[in-house]
Structure formats: C-alpha cells, structure tokens
Structure 1
Amino acid sequence: MNQSSTEDLTDSQQSNWENLSKEMLELWFEHLKNEENYSQKQCLMNCMAPFLAVPMTVVQTIFYICEEFQQPPEVRYLTVELFDRFVNNQFLMLFPKIWPTDINGAVFENHGWKRISDRIKNQSLLRIMSCLSLASKFIMFNKMVPLKKIQEFLHKIGSIFSVKTILASEMRVYRMLDYKLCFPKVLTYTDLLIELIDLPGNVDKKWLHKFSLKVIDVTYLFHQEIFYKLFYYSTGRWEKTYEERKQFMETECNNSFLAAAIVTTTMTFLQPDCHAILNQIAIELNKLTDVPSDDIIALASIITMIILT
C-alpha cells in the first residue's frame, strides 16, 4: 500500500462525515458519550488509566511500524489503543497469580513476577504486531497486513516466529480484548466535533481534519506528560493522593475532553490571533461535551506548549 492510497483512505473517511446530516452526527456523538461513560466506570473499577503501561517509547515503536507498513492514521491509533487494552487486561488476569490474597494478607511472589514479566517482555513485539494486524483488518479489511509480511518484518529485526505462532498470538490478543474492536476513540471524537461546531468561513474543514492528525499524534506520544502537567496546573502539586489519583483518572479517561482540546489546539495554530473565535469554539465544545470551556482551553494550552517546545 503506497502513501497516496493511505491518504486516499483518510480523505474518503472525511468525505463520509460530510455525507451525514448534522442530526445523525449529533446522535452518533451522544451514543459515543454513553459508551464512554461505561468505559470510564470500567477504568475506575479496575484502577486502569489510559497509557499506564504504554509509555512514549512503545507509542513511538507502534508509529514506526505502522509507517513501515504504510498504514493510515486510523490504524496506528487503533493499534496503540488495542495494545493498551491488551496489556491492562493481561495484567488484571495475571495479577491474582503473583499477588494472591488470603487471611494472612497479600504475599507478593517476586520470582514468579520476574518470570512472567520476562516472558511478557520477550513477546511484546509479537503482541504489537497482533494488534496491528487486528487494527488493519478492522479499518480496511481489503488491504489488511498479511501474516507473511508480519513474519518477514519480525524476522528482519531478529524475532523468529512461524506464521502459525503469529496467528495464535493474534487470536490470543483478540480473546484478551473480549473480541471487541472499535474505531479509534480520540480520532472519532475529534472528527465528529470538527463536523458539529460552526467554523469561521475562512477555515477549510478538510485542512482542519488533516492538521488535527498532527495534534493527535502529539497527544498519543506525550499522553502521560500532558495529563501530568494538567494535574499540576489544576492543583499546584505534582504528586497525587490516593483519592486524587482516582478522581483524576476519570478526567484522563474522558476522550471527548481530550478531543475538544485537540480541536481547540488545531484552531489555535490556524487562528493564532483570534482569541474571540477560539473562546467561541470552546463554548460550543462545552455544549457538546459537557466539559467547562476553561478546562478545554487549559488542556489545549498544555498541548500547544508541548508542540512548541
């Protein structure tokens, strides 16, 4: 798949947004918000914040691999999200085996955890490739990444696996994800918000969609730093208490909040001197997401600073 066909896929998705009525887009957005409320409850129940086990180096690796396979943005974002979910679910499954609780309290099995962690580390690249394969099938089934190509790539970097092992890994990852895939959340929210807000007449909506991808890249790569700084600017402290950690996790899991900040950041680079327009867009985003406009602008300011530094 060449670069032009990748761009054609993204352009095709944007034209699909334009074919939907505003009422349909609003219904879809409300449906996503309802789904997200359930996802947030699951994150809070399991104390699993996004990107907790997927630092910048892992995101960089995924972006690099997706570029090598000439995958569109939708696939690279979904690959990150699937791998994040897989690692979290894997940890929740393994945790009771290494830290069982009985009447005498919790006893951590250090040797058992080291053995498991070493095995996970050795298989991490294979699992990333499984997530990539699933993402490519979900986003563009007719141009999915063949297992043979995955085998050749792994072999090139010194990881020898049979096609049978690669397929078994993909099925294991799919099962660990409870056989549930969805479109990349932040990108979907961002695209919907761009379609729903009233933009100034001199703003090219297609350009806004394309430029927002650059901003989304930054939020995936610097996710932990962005929300670390957001907590500091909100409280004046870097360290969280246990209760604050739980409360802030809900903010970090709010993809509509992040998408609203991405739209505002994108508009900041397009209309850097038009503060009235940016404030008006933040107010519109507040009505759609129920996130205070001041919070949207604060998060957008942090993203903007990271881009400029």
Structure 2
Amino acid sequence: MTSALGSQYKKNWNHKIVDLYQENWWKQLQLHNKQSYKERILKNVTPWFILTPQVIQLIFLISEILHQPPEVRYLTIEIFDRFLTCQYLQLYAYVWNKPGASIENSQRQWDRVVDRVKHQLILRALTCMQLASKLVNTSEILTPVAIMNFLKHANQDFTEQSIISSERRVFETIQFKIPFSHPLTYVEFLIQQLSDPQIDIDLDSLYSTSIKVLDVAYIQHHEIYLKLFHLITGRWERTPRERQEFLAVECDNIYLACAVIVCAADISEANSKNVIIKLHQRTGIPLNDLQGLSSIITELIVSE
C-alpha cells in the first residue's frame, strides 16, 4: 500500500516564519473551523447534500488533467458543494413556491430546470475550479479560454462569454464567499507539528500519503460518517434532530484532518502511536475518537 501511494509532494516543514506565528495561525484555524459549521447551519447548506462520489471523482480527474495542485481540487469541491446546495434551494423555491401554479406545471418546469442543471454541471465545476485556482494563486490559473478548450474536448460547446457569466453566477450564488480553508489546510498545519527529532517521521512521505487518504475521505464522505454515527450510537438510522446535531461532527475539519493523518501514519508505518498522541495533545480530541474515525477510513481503503 505504501508503494502505491508513493511520495510526491514536498513542503518546507521547518519554516522559521511559520514557527514564529504558528500559535496565532492555529487560533485562526480553530476559529474558522467553528465559523464554517455555523455558516452551514445558518444557510441550511448541508455538506455533500447533492454531491455524489462520482462527481467528486470527476472533479479530481479534471484537476489532474489540468495540472491543478491538491489545494485547488479540495477547494473546488468545497466551493462546488456550497454552490450546488444554494442553487438547489433557490431553484426549488422559485419553481415550487410559485403562487397559483398547478402541480403538473411545476413538475414540468422542475424537470426542465433539472435538465439544464445537468447540462451545465461540468461548466459549473470548472468555474469553481477557476475560482479556486485564483485563490490558491498557482502557476496554472485557469482562464476562460482554457476552460472553453477543455469543454470542447468533452463535446460541450460554451462560448468564452458563457464561461465568464458562469463565474459571476457561481460567485453570486455563494454570496461572494469562498471558504477560507479546507481539510488539507489543517492536515498541513498538524503535520508541521510532528516535526520532532524524537518522533523520527518522514513528513513528506506522511504528507503525500495523507493526500491520498484525504481523497478517499472526500469520495466516501457519506459512507464514512454513516459508519461513524453507527460506531457512536449503535444505530444506522438518524432522526432529523440527530442528523442536525451530527453536522457538528461532519463539519469538523480538525477532527477529519487528524483522522486522515493517523490513517496515513498507519498505512506508511510512520510511528502511528506517537503521531496519534501528538495530535491528541495538540487538538484535545480524545484518543478513542481519533482511533474510531481513522479506523473507519482505513477499513474503506483496505476494502477498495
């Protein structure tokens, strides 16, 4: 498994500026982790409400073809997830809450809306990737022309103006708010905390493996958190209230990042016992909770 995952991503884990401001940065990450959950509750934007594993895999594939780094593909998913849910809520209200409309007419209009959304799915995903590439500020920022050429190869003809309009539409739908962070942001910070000669870990290898594990966590999001709920409660079915309360767990990027790193340490045999203890000390997350979520992710990886 280790050789399959490989080591291809490198970071400067001993950056003096990062060391100097790491406590302030950690406070900001903790704050945003809480704010992200509150924002979803406030706007009724349930994570992965519409996104399917197939769509996530498609976005990952497109990001590889377009030579986008991991930061862009994860941020793309975060933006696209919010956009799709907000768009769905807006369109649903527009069609089904129209005064005086019959059920038959509303259904016909809804069917047309769904067909249009499906037709624009790849365009919207690429638009989110374009926004993500701008925020990450990579050397491979996606341009409207690059997106237009990609869509042509996918047998979808959209003009450059349509692509520009799509960017405006996505930005407006998410109320001009791009997520400040994503799980990889927390993975990177927490791995940096493992830079200790006494632990003796190849951080680049752990980081590369963590990215592969995080891919699985994104694709198998629903399955992972269904299993976690079962592990905690012994039940598979959630009441509406439990579903709402469990969102705090689903939206906890610090918890997910820790579990991903522990899982990666297990896979790469990177002193996982010390890793989980250090993460527990840094985050305050109970050891049993870290072991529970990481074991679920490991199980899914092994079963693939």
**TM range, smaller chain:** 0.7 to 0.9
Equivalent pair of 1:148/1:163 in contact (CA under 8 Å) = yes
Residue in 2 that maps onto 1:189: 186
Match of 2:134 in 1: 137
CA RMSD of aligned residues (A): 2.5
For residue 179 of structure 1, the aligned residue among 176, 181, 186 is: 176
Matching residue within 112, 116, 120 for 2:113: 116
CA contact (8 A) 1:22 1:196 kept: no
Question: What is residue 150 of structure 1 aligned with on the other side?
Answer: 147
Give 2:80's aligned amino acid: F
Q: How far, CA to CA, are the matches of 1:168 and 1:47 in structure 2?
A: 26
Corresponding residue to 1:76 among 73, 82, 88: 73
Deviating 4+ runs (over 4 angstroms): none
Matched residue type, 1:56: P
Shift of 1:23: 5.0
| TM-score normalised according to structure 2 size | 0.87
1:99 deviates by: 3.7
Tell me by how many angstroms 1:17 deviates.
6.6
1:79-114: CA deviations, max 9, x gaps? Answer: 111111111221232232234399xxxx89433322
CA shift for structure 1 position 201: 3.6
> Retained in 2: the 8 A contact 1:50–1:84?
yes
Any residues of structure 2 matched to 1:211-290 within 5 Å, and which? 211-271=209-269, 278=273, 280-290=274-284
User: Deviation at 1:269?
Assistant: 1.8
TM-score, with length taken from structure 1:
0.86
Distance 2:282 2:200 in 1: 23
CA–CA separation in structure 1 for the residues paired with 2:78 and 2:13: 23
**Structure 2 residues not aligned, in runs of 5+:** 1-6
Q: Does 1:298 align with 2:292?
A: yes
| Cα distance between partner residues in 2 of 1:217 and 1:202 | 26
> How far did residue 39 of structure 1 move?
1.7
**Counterpart amino acid of 1:113?**
W
Question: What residue identity is the alignment partner of 2:23?
Answer: E
Q: How many residues align?
A: 293
SS of the residue 1:134 aligns to? helix
Which stretch shifts more, 21-30 or 63-72? 21-30
Contact 1:137 1:143 (C-alpha < 8 Å) held by counterparts: no
Q: Deviations over 1:44-86 (max 9, x none)?
A: 2344332221110000110111111111111111111111111
Distance 1:228 1:53 in 2: 16
- Return the alpha-carbon distance in structure 2 between the equivalents of residues 246 and 235 of structure 1: 15
Matched, 1:100 2:93: no
**Greater RCO (CA < 8 Å, at least 6 residues apart):** 2
Describe the shift of the 1:155–1:297 C-alpha distance in structure 2 as closer, same or farther (beyond 3 A). Answer: same
Taking only the aligned residue pairs, the percentage that are identical comes to 34
Residues 167 and 68 (structure 1), Cα distance of their counterparts in 2 relative to 1, 3 Å cut:
same
Query: 2:3: which partner in 1?
Result: none
